[in-house]
Amino acid sequence: MKRSGILNAALAGQLARLGHTDQVLVCDSGMPIPPGVDVVDLAFVPGVPSFADVLDGLLNELVVEGAVAAGEVAEANPACAVLLEERLPGLEHVPHEELKRLSREVKLAVRTGEARPYANVILRCGVYF
């Protein structure tokens, strides 16, 4: 049995399969997930687990070399905007419609129970060496 890190077997397995430049969508419970994208749905009830908790868990497991979020987050969900800026230096912003288009290219989507708008980010995997 694992002692630490991500304990969800489906999520841990999917993360282990990621390689350099693969992308992961971490999203709120309302984000449309494109057909054909592998999904690990962690949503339980509204707000659980939170976007912040899931993002932090993923950032402890992954090497991230870039990230993209919707520009609308700054006005619609300022707390999430601050969280993203603190956790992801160099974060790129695009319109939400563009983020949805970009999400068609992700290898994995991780759906949280977050129930506040625009709590979505695409992470681009880096390498540890």
CB atoms within 10 A of CB 2: 8
7, 9, 13, 20: which one is catalytic?
20
Binding site for substrate, residues?
Answer: 28, 96, 118-120
Q: Determine phi and psi for 56, rounding to 5 degrees.
A: -60, -40
21 by DSSP, 3-state: which? Answer: coil
Residue 93 known to be catalytic? no
Distance CA 113, CA 111 (A): 7
Distance CA 70, CA 29 (A): 15
Binding site, residues?
Answer: 28, 96, 118-120
Active-site positions read 20
